[in-house]
Structure formats: structure tokens, C-alpha cells
Structure 1
């Protein structure tokens, strides 16, 4: 289990800033996140309660390193490691002995014996494998959805670790999700192959969210890299653009592990054309990058509805990119990154579209801004 330095070339950094990146750059981000998780685990292993599990993890890595990598890449491990390492550093409540679950999962994957004491938990979960249901670490495996050369696990986080404000479905209609994902994936592979291969590189887990009577929801947790939270979507196109949106968030999460793009300024808040609440600079950057991906998706599609979406989101993303560039909230590297974004968005905004489409997009944008101003004048 070695931790190596990660470097992003100027060409890859520029490609990422311009909304893409390609498989090589995105793979670097994924491997860098794995290294971050391992660094967290090494810091946790300084606690005596975690040392037996860490010893087993090291032994598995010596014999079957791919088994350890597979477990370290599971989003729940990154989330647990971050939460636990921070708690230990701050003197808060922490359970370092829970490293035993990660070590046991790696050993089971490698076919090795497990001789560990496990801390008491309400649900005994083996990351990347499933929930233990019998003796000898017999487990009920996480369901997987095959997308043709790429598969995602469906994980409801039975062992916990999801913030309470993020709802997770109580159960999974696996047939519905399989059909929906396969249809959306076919659309991405056919019409947006660059975004599809990037998504496949960074996302390995889907967590269904409950349906909402007021729309759809999706989310990416920074500490749970590799997981996308999704509510049911109305059609393959809606699901496909949401996958692109969350894939952008995943890329930026990992890139921001390597580069400080935003200055620490917790009090500065900004208007975001896709939110009802004001956003800090880091949140605005995330939203801008995600909606740049959304605009790019609609840019390559046909029809009046696609044009309207393209017009709305290219303009919105350029507005917030310019806001960031004049905010003083970006680092020098962050300014380079957002400048590249803005260059692409400015070119897109110069592309001709029918006048009624532009008028409708402008009206929607103005209406959102007016609602936002009215709400925040009251508060």
C-alpha cells in the first residue's frame, strides 16, 4: 500500500478546466483519491484500536493488492476514513476499530482468513461486498447493474455514513433502475461517448433516493467519491444529463484534493442561477462546473427543447464563472481554471440560436433572479 505523489500535466489540467479531461486525466484523479483514502487510514492506524486491522490490510496488500484497491475505492470507505481521521485529529468521538470492516472486506475479496475483533454495530457491512447475514462473514452481496463493459453497484448504505439531510431510499426497485440506467447509458455511449467514459472511470456506486412529488434530486458527496445519489428520473435523457452533471462534480471533487482553487472565505456568498440559496465560492465553482457539463450535453443534442436548455445553462454558467473571476475568492490556480471555463462558455454563448429560444432562456433566467432577490430581500 504505497502512497505516490500525483501530478496533473498542464495539458490535462487545461482539458479538465475546459469541461472534459479524457480517461487518462480522470483516472489520475481517481487514483489520487484512493491515495488520499489510504493516507487517512494510515493516520487512523496510529490508534491502537485500529492496528490489528491495519496489519491485516497490509498483509492482504502484499498478497492481493487489487483486492485492497477495490475496497479502498468504495465510497463508504473514503467517507468513513475522512470522518474518523478528522474526529481523531480534533479529539471528537471516533471509532477507529471500525477499520476492521475495511480490512475484512479486502481479506474476503482475496480469499484470506480473517481473525479480527469487530466492534458492535447495528448492521455489519463489508464495504464493496454487502451486509453480513451469517457466520464466517457470509454476506448478502450488493446488487450490480451491468452497463456493458462497466457496472455499478447499488448501495443503500445499510451501515450508515450518509448525512441525515440526504435522503436514501428504503428499498430498491432493481428492475426499474437497471432498465433506466441501461437506457440512459446507451444514450450516453451513442451521443456523448467522452462523458460516458469519464463517468465510468470515476463512479462505481449508485445510491437511489426516494421519489419527490416536486421534481428530481441528485447529489455527490465529496468524501464519498465514486458514489452518485439519484432519485428516479422521468426518461433516459433526463437521467443521462444528470449522470453528466454528477460526473462533473466527481471530477472537481478529486481535482480539488490536488489543487487549492478557492481561497478560504467562509463569509462570502454568491447568487447561483440554479439554486434558491446563496452559495459560498467553492459551491458556486462546483455548480458552475456541473452546469458547464449540462450545457455541453444539450449543445450536442437536437430539437427546440435541447436548444432552450443549452441557451439557459451556457449563459448561467458563464455568468457565475465571471462572478468567480471578479470575486477575489479564487487562488491563482483557481483563476487559471475558471478562465479556461469562461473561455469555452464565452465561445458557446456566441453560437447562434433562434431568437425565440434565446428570449425564452433569458426570461427564465430573469424570473429566477427576481425570485431570488425578492426572497433574500425579505431575509
Structure 2
């Protein structure tokens, strides 16, 4: 169980800022694993976690790939972050729950488990499933095959998801297999680089209930590797949503390595994709995600795609320029957004059918009007 250091070259940083990243995306995933391990090491200083940590170290000695697989599971990152912060603040914490992570790694490696487990509403083994019998017998998490890649389907039975983020109570696995399979075929055929990046950073799907307002999706910073997603109406909508969430995942991990936004700022900004004002960090995330969305539509054909491309290239440039005009970015953040904006300026100079430009402009104006009616005048940099 080794920790860092992780380095991103200037060229890789620029590639990530421009919406891609290539091989650097794997570095981001490994850096997030290292972050999780650092959190666990700090938790292991508590006597209640020492026995579990000893088992985790023993498994790492004989089967390091089993430990890596468990550490990469989003629920472990979320638990480790939550618990380490609580311990540091002197708040209520449950460090003994490290036993679940250690046991999952041991079961994967075939190493005997002799641990005392803390009481839990649901006994969940991260990356494996929910325990249903003696001897750590468990009901495996379902999997969805996407070519050579696969996604585990996890409803977070052991908890750890914020109350405001709804999770479906059950999974229609055949529906999700068909829907994701169609979206994946589209991505691998038409957007292979995007598909490869998604496969690198996302390993778990958590279905959400159907949304009355359209498609809902989310990425939690502490649960790296998981995409929360409601059912979508068609393969293209699902594919662009996967692209959107992959961008969020990349930026989450990059911001572990680089401070892009100054802490403590209370400035709020207009976001053309939200109905509420956004802080600088949230606006940066949305801008980066919509850089990916615009890039997706740029590569597609048809009038509907031209409208979407016109809408989101312009929207993302508006927010990138607002961030650059403000004082919320660090010097590194300014470099990042400058690269991002360079791409968007070039895209916004590309000619499109006037009809597509007109529809996109009308949609943008309608959103601004709704936003102002709810929030008041648009913030100005």
C-alpha cells in the first residue's frame, strides 16, 4: 500500500484543461486511490481501527490487487473521507468500520478473516456486496458489461449518500444493461477517446429514481468512481450524460492535486445550466463539464446536434470568461481556465447554420429571463 507522489506534466495539465487528458486520466485515478489510503492511515491511528488495518496490510503483502480493487470502490473513499474528517474535528466517528473494508480485501484475496465487526444496519463489503449469511457469504453487486469495461450497480445499502441525493430503491437490471449498452456502443464508435476516459474514472453506477424534469445525474467528490444517474430517454442523451459526469470525475481528482479556486470566497455567479447562483468552485465544475458536453455535440451531425453545440459552447465560454474576470481562481486555476477558454473561443468562431444559432440564442435568453425572475439581476464580474 504505497502513497504518491503523483506528478502531472505541463503538457498533461494543458491536455486536461482542454477537456481531454489521455494517459493522464489514469494518473488521476491512482492519485485518488492514494488519497483514500492516506485517509485510512490517519484513521488507523485509532485503537478501534488498528486490527482491521493490520489485516489490510497483510492482504496488501500477498495480494495487492485485491486491496487496490477495494480502495477504488467509491463507498470506501466516501467513508474514509467522512471518518477521517470527523476524527480530526473531534466529532462522532466510527473508525472501527474499517473492518468492512479490510474484510472485503481479505475475501477477495482468499485470506482468512478474524475481525470483530461493529454493529451496522446493513453489513456491506465494499466492491463485493451485502452479507447475507455466515462466513461472510454475500449477495454480489450486479454488474453491467460494456465491452471490455464493466460497471457495478450499487444502491449503497450500507449508507453514505447525502439525504438530498435520491437513490432508487431497486434496479431494473435488464433495462440498464440495454440502455447503457446502446450508449456505450455510440461512445466507442463515435467518441472512442471519451469512452476510454469514462472507463478509466467510472466503475460504479447508482441508479436514481426517474426525474419529472428530465435526466438527473450527479458525481460526489468523495465518492470518486461512481455516477448517480436517472433513466434517460435515448442512447444519445445517456451518452452525453456519461460524458458530462466523466468530466466532473476528472476535475474532482485533479483538484486533489492542484488548488484551482481560492478558499473562502463568497462570490456567486450565473450559470446558464442552473436555476440558482453558483460559487466559483461549482461554476468551474459546471464549466468543465459543459466543455465536455459541447465537445460531444461538436462531433455529431444533424440540426439538433448543431443547436446543442451552439448552446453549450457559448454557455461554457460565458462562465469561463466570468471566472477569468473575477478574483476567485488561484494562479494555477487561472492557467487551467485560460486553456479551457482558448478551446471554447476557437469553437465559438466555427460557423454554424444561422437557424441553429438562433434557436440556441433563444434558449439562452429564456434561461437568463427565468434566472433573473427568480434571483434578480445577473451577477457581473
**Aligned position for 1:159:** 158
Q: Post-superposition shift, 1:192? A: 0.3
Structure 2: distance between partners of 1:283 and 1:104: 36
Structure 1 stretches lacking a partner, 5+ long = none
**Aligned position for 2:72:** 73
**Aligned position for 2:231:** 232
Q: Does 1:7 align with 2:7?
A: yes
SS of residue paired to 1:140: strand
Provide runs of 4+ in structure 1 moved above 3 Å: none
Q: Post-superposition shift, 1:92? A: 0.7
**Aligned position for 2:60:** 61
Structure 2: distance between partners of 1:265 and 1:159: 33
**Aligned position for 1:199:** 198
**Aligned position for 1:48:** 47
> TM-score, normalization: structure 1?
0.99
2:317 and 2:345 in contact (8 A); partners too? yes
**Aligned position for 1:215:** 214
Q: Post-superposition shift, 1:166? A: 0.1
Q: Deviations over 1:272-317 (max 9, x none)?
A: 0000010000000000000000000000000000000000000000
Cα distance change on mapping 1:265 and 1:366 into 2, 3 Å:
farther
Q: Deviations over 1:8-54 (max 9, x none)?
A: 011110000000001x1000000000000000000000000000000
> TM-score, normalization: structure 2?
0.98
Structure 1: distance between partners of 2:317 and 2:89: 39
Structure 1: distance between partners of 2:211 and 2:252: 26
SS of residue paired to 2:376: helix
Q: Post-superposition shift, 1:377? A: 2.5
SS of residue paired to 1:145: strand
Q: Deviations over 1:204-240 (max 9, x none)?
A: 0000000022211000000000000000000000000
**Aligned position for 2:263:** 264
Structure 2: distance between partners of 1:257 and 1:17: 15
2:168 and 2:207 in contact (8 A); partners too? yes
Q: Does 1:306 align with 2:305?
A: yes
Structure 2 stretches lacking a partner, 5+ long = none
2:269 and 2:280 in contact (8 A); partners too? yes
**Aligned position for 1:98:** 97
> 5 Å matches for 1:329-344?
329-344=328-343
Q: Does 1:168 align with 2:167?
A: yes
SS of residue paired to 1:206: strand
**Aligned position for 2:37:** 38
Structure 2: distance between partners of 1:139 and 1:336: 48
SS of residue paired to 2:367: helix
2:265 and 2:328 in contact (8 A); partners too? no
Q: Post-superposition shift, 1:266? A: 3.6
Q: Does 1:351 align with 2:344?
A: no
1:172 and 1:208 in contact (8 A); partners too? yes
Q: Deviations over 1:44-72 (max 9, x none)?
A: 00000000000000000000000000000
SS of residue paired to 1:229: strand
**Aligned position for 2:147:** 148
SS of residue paired to 1:184: helix
2:124 and 2:131 in contact (8 A); partners too? yes
SS of residue paired to 1:8: coil
1:265 and 1:329 in contact (8 A); partners too? no
2:78 and 2:160 in contact (8 A); partners too? yes
* Count of residue pairs brought into register by the alignment: 377
Q: Deviations over 1:307-365 (max 9, x none)?
A: 00000000000000000001110000000000000000000000000111111111111
**Aligned position for 1:138:** 137
Q: Post-superposition shift, 1:265? A: 3.1
**Aligned position for 1:21:** 21
1:60 and 1:107 in contact (8 A); partners too? yes
